[in-house]
């Protein structure tokens, strides 16, 4: 029986594999399943078993799974198709008779107004209906999501957003990976739903202040309406659909969708989550 990481060549998946190895999980008991042949080859060189997997290819998922395996399904980033992709992986897990499935959902999936939630709710419902033992890891926001804002602030001295006075309890991907690895390697998590987020929900004024510190220049927070934010993003080169999506996310933050702090993340990781300032420093290098 193995621990199968579906999405192992993505940013979070790679960190989960690294965390498993750091915690002493034998490399031969880990199956890194993903799309990047280069990254899979790198992991194979370290003794990790690998499997080329495409969520659009059911046969590739079948080949990666075995009876009794623990499967981590990292949600896909193809927003147009990921509901079907998730169902493809879950169906394969049922066929393989995996021992349990962990799924990376979104914070407070069943109550949040966030635009990303419906796909995750569908996946959670499909997993529940599958009859497989499950754990839902409802991830909040990654601090790394603000790397583009950091680079823009470096050039302009301005943090543009339409989040108003909303707050974000972000944490680093490494924080999430530590918690996920703990759940993968310890008992007692079946049927659990973990709301994972940073220990502190910061404001955008605080984000601007932190950016000022790490960039060594003054950064001002300029709050916009949703419409003006979308227009500014389009003017910066984004297509209308992407600009509207990002502005809508800020609207969700304004509604409080990413401010929830439960302590689940730091408790599972076994350490406090990374403070905003410390998380931004590597992004500024």
pLDDT tens digits along 150-161: 999 999 999 999
How many domains would you assign to the chain?
Answer: 2
Examine residue 191 and state whether it is found in any structural domain, yes or no.
no
- Are 129 and 223 contained in the same domain? no
The Cβ of residue 131 has, within 10 Å, a number of other Cβ atoms equal to 8
* pLDDT tops 90 at residue 238: no
pLDDT reported for residue 52: 96
**CA–CA gap between residue 139 and residue 161 (Å, rounded):** 22
Q: How many helices and strands (H and E) does the chain possess?
A: 12, 11
Same domain, 58 and 146: no
CA distance 226 to 244: 8
Q: What pLDDT digit, counting tens, does each position of 111-125 carry?
A: 999 988 999 999 999
pLDDT at residue number 90: 98
In terms of domains, do 28 and 70 share one? yes
Region 48-59: what's the mean pLDDT? Answer: 95
Same domain flag for 108 and 155 = no
Q: In CATH, what number is assigned to the domain containing residue 45?
A: 3.40.50.720
Same domain, 76 and 51: yes
CA dihedral 117, 64, 144, 202 (to 10 degrees): 50
Tell me the C-alpha to C-alpha distance, in Å, between residue 132 and each of 11, 70, 191, 225, 283. Answer: 26, 11, 10, 44, 39
Structure-token match 């220049």, residue found:
217
Backbone angles phi, psi at 137, to 5 degrees: -105, 95
Question: Does residue 82 lie in a domain region?
Answer: yes
The answer to whether residues 256 and 246 belong to one domain is yes
Contact (Cβ atoms closer than 8 angstroms) between residue 147 and residue 141: no
Kindly state whether residue 41 falls inside one of the protein's structural domains. Answer: yes
242 band by pLDDT with thresholds 50, 70 and 90: confident
Confidence (pLDDT) at 245: 87
Task: To the nearest 10°, report the CA torsion of 105, 106, 111, 117.
Answer: -90
Q: Is residue 185 assigned to a domain?
A: no
Do 43 and 118 share a domain, yes or no? Answer: yes
Q: Assess if residue 188 is contained within a domain.
A: no
* 238, 252 Cβ separation under 8 angstroms: no
Give the number of other Cβ atoms within 10 Å of residue 236's Cβ. 11
Instruction: State whether 119 and 150 are in the same domain.
Output: no
Whether residue 183 lies inside any domain: the answer is no
Pairing of strands 167-168, 202-203: antiparallel
Tokens coding 135: 């754990």
CATH number at residue 230: 3.90.25.10
Domain that holds residue 8: 3-139
Q: Is residue 192 part of a domain?
A: no
Residue 178 lies in a domain: no
């Amino acid at each position: 029986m193995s621990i199968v990481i579906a999405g192992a060549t993505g940013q979070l998946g790679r960190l989960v594999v690294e965390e498993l190895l750091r915690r002493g999980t034998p490399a031969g008991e880990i199956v890194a399943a993903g799309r990047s042949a280069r990254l899979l080859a790198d992991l194979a060189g370290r003794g990790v078993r690998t499997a080329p997997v495409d969520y659009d290819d059911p046969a590739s998922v079948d080949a990666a799974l075995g009876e009794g395996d623990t499967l981590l399904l990292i949600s896909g980033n193809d927003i147009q198709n990921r509901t079907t992709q998730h169902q493809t992986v879950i169906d394969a897990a049922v066929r393989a008779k995996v021992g349990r499935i962990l799924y990376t959902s979104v914070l407070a999936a069943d109550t949040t107004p966030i635009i990303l939630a419906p796909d995750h709710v569908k996946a959670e419902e499909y997993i529940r209906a599958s009859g497989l033992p499950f754990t839902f890891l409802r991830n909040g926001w990654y601090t790394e999501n603000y790397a583009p804002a950091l680079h823009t602030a470096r050039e302009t001295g301005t943090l543009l957003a339409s989040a108003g006075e909303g707050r974000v309890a972000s944490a680093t991907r490494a924080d999430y990976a530590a918690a996920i690895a703990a759940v993968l390697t310890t008992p007692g998590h079946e049927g659990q739903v973990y709301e994972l987020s940073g220990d502190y929900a910061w404001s955008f004024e605080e984000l601007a202040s932190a950016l000022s510190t790490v960039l060594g220049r003054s950064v001002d927070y300029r709050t916009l309406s949703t419409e003006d934010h979308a227009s500014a993003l389009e003017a910066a080169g984004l297509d209308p659909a992407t600009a509207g999506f990002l502005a809508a996310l800020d609207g969700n933050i304004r509604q409080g969708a990413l401010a929830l702090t439960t302590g689940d993340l730091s408790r599972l990781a076994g350490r406090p989550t990374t403070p905003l300032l410390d998380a931004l420093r590597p992004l500024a290098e």
